[in-house]
Amino acid sequence: MTHVPKTFTDSFGRIIRDLRISLTDRCNFRCLYCLPETEEAANFFRTRRSETATPIPYVWKPRVNLLTYEEIERVTRIAVAHGVEKIRLTGGEPLLRRDVPALVARLAAIDGLKDLALTTNGFHFVEQAEALRKAGLRRVTISLDSLERDNFTKLTGRDALDTVLKAIRLARDLGFHPLRVNAVIIRHLNDHEIESLAEFARAENIALRYIEFMPLDSRRAWQMEHVVPAREILARLQARHALEPVVADSKSATATRWRFADGRGEVGFIAPVSEPFCGHCNRLRLTADGKIRTCLFSLHEHDLKAQLRDGANAADDETVAAWLRGVILHKEARHHIGEEGFQQPDRPMSAIGG
Ligand code: SAM
Ligand code: SF4
Identify the CATH number of the domain in which residue 257 sits.
Answer: 3.20.20.70
Q: What is the pLDDT of residue 63?
A: 79
Ligand 1 pocket test: which of 20, 31, 273, 350 has the largest number of ligand atoms within 8 Å of its C-beta? Answer: 31
Pocket lining: 183 vs ligand 2, CB cutoff 6 Å = no
**pLDDT tens per residue, range 285-295:** 999 999 999 99
Beta bridge partners of 303: 291
Q: What are phi and psi of 242, to 5 degrees?
A: -80, 120
Q: What is the pLDDT of residue 336?
A: 87
- 9 is a domain residue: no
- 2 is a domain residue: no
- Give the helix/strand (H/E) hosting 182: strand 180-185
**347 C-alpha vs ligand 2 centroid, how far in Å?**
13
Q: Which of 257-266, 281-290, 304-313, 327-336 has the highest mean pLDDT?
A: 281-290
Q: Which of 37-46, 285-294, 302-311 has the highest mean pLDDT?
A: 285-294
Pocket lining: 184 vs ligand 2, CB cutoff 6 Å = no
Pocket lining: 213 vs ligand 1, CB cutoff 6 Å = yes
Going by C-alpha positions, the residue among 71, 195, 190, 69 that lies closest to residue 135 is 69
- 196 is a domain residue: yes
pLDDT at residue 167 is higher than 60: yes
Query: Residue with the nearest Cα to atom 20 of ligand 1?
Result: 34
- 106 is a domain residue: yes
**Neighbour tally for 83: CB within 10 Å:** 16
Q: Which atom of ligand 1 is nearest to the CA of 272?
A: 25
Mean pLDDT of the chain: 93
Structurally, how many domains does the chain consist of?
A: 1
Beta bridge partners of 243: 260
Pocket lining: 185 vs ligand 2, CB cutoff 6 Å = no
**pLDDT tens per residue, range 43-84:** 999 877 655 567 777 677 777 789 999 999 999 999 999 999
pLDDT tier for residue 194 given thresholds of 50, 70 and 90? very high
Q: Which atom of ligand 1 is nearest to the CA of 350?
A: 9
Going by C-alpha positions, the residue among 20, 122, 66 that lies closest to residue 308 is 66
Pocket lining: 267 vs ligand 2, CB cutoff 6 Å = no
Q: What is the pLDDT of residue 231?
A: 97
**350 C-alpha vs ligand 2 centroid, how far in Å?**
6
- Give counts: helices (H), strands (E), the chain: 11, 12
Beta bridge partners of 255: 270
Q: Which atom of ligand 1 is nearest to the CA of 183?
A: 16
- 352 is a domain residue: no
Structural domain that includes position 51: 18-346
Pocket lining: 29 vs ligand 2, CB cutoff 6 Å = yes
pLDDT tier for residue 29 given thresholds of 50, 70 and 90? very high
- 102 is a domain residue: yes
- In this structure, what is the dihedral angle of CA atoms 188, 29, 230, 293, given to the nearest 10 degrees? -130
Q: What is the mean pLDDT of residues 214-229?
A: 94
Q: Which percentage of the chain shows pLDDT scores above 90?
A: 79
Of 4-18, 57-71, 107-121, 198-212, give the lowest mean pLDDT range: 57-71
Q: What is the DSSP string of 277-316?
A: -GGG--EEEE-TTSEEESSTT-S--EEHHHHHH-GGGPPP
**pLDDT tens per residue, range 253-288:** 788 999 999 888 999 999 999 988 888 999 999 999
Could you write out the three-class secondary structure of 81-112?
HCCCCEEEEECCCHHHCCCHHHHHHHHHCCCC
- 8 is a domain residue: no
Q: What is the pLDDT of residue 73?
A: 98
Q: What is the pLDDT of residue 58?
A: 67
Judged by DSSP in three states, 193 sits in helix
Q: What is the mean pLDDT of residues 117-130?
A: 98
Q: Which atom of ligand 2 is nearest to the CA of 123?
A: 8
**331 C-alpha vs ligand 2 centroid, how far in Å?**
25
- 7 is a domain residue: no
85/189 Cα distance (integer angstroms): 37
Of 35-44, 117-126, 184-193, 242-251, give the lowest mean pLDDT range: 242-251
Pocket lining: 34 vs ligand 2, CB cutoff 6 Å = yes
Ligand nearest to the CA of 213: 1
Query: Residue with the nearest Cα to atom 11 of ligand 1?
Result: 354
Q: What is the pLDDT of residue 74?
A: 98
pTM for the structure as a whole: 0.95
pLDDT at residue 199 is higher than 80: yes
pLDDT tier for residue 2 given thresholds of 50, 70 and 90? low
> Rounded to an integer, what is the distance from CA 53 to the centroid of its chain?
24
Q: What is the pLDDT of residue 53?
A: 65
- Give the helix/strand (H/E) hosting 5: none
**119 C-alpha vs ligand 1 centroid, how far in Å?**
9
Pocket lining: 94 vs ligand 2, CB cutoff 6 Å = no
**34 C-alpha vs ligand 1 centroid, how far in Å?**
7
Q: What is the pLDDT of residue 40?
A: 93
* Parallel/antiparallel/unpaired status of strands 115-120 and 86-90: parallel
pLDDT at residue 1 is higher than 60: no
* Higher pLDDT, residue 247 or 162: 162
Pocket lining: 214 vs ligand 1, CB cutoff 6 Å = yes
> Rounded to an integer, what is the distance from CA 291 to the centroid of its chain?
16
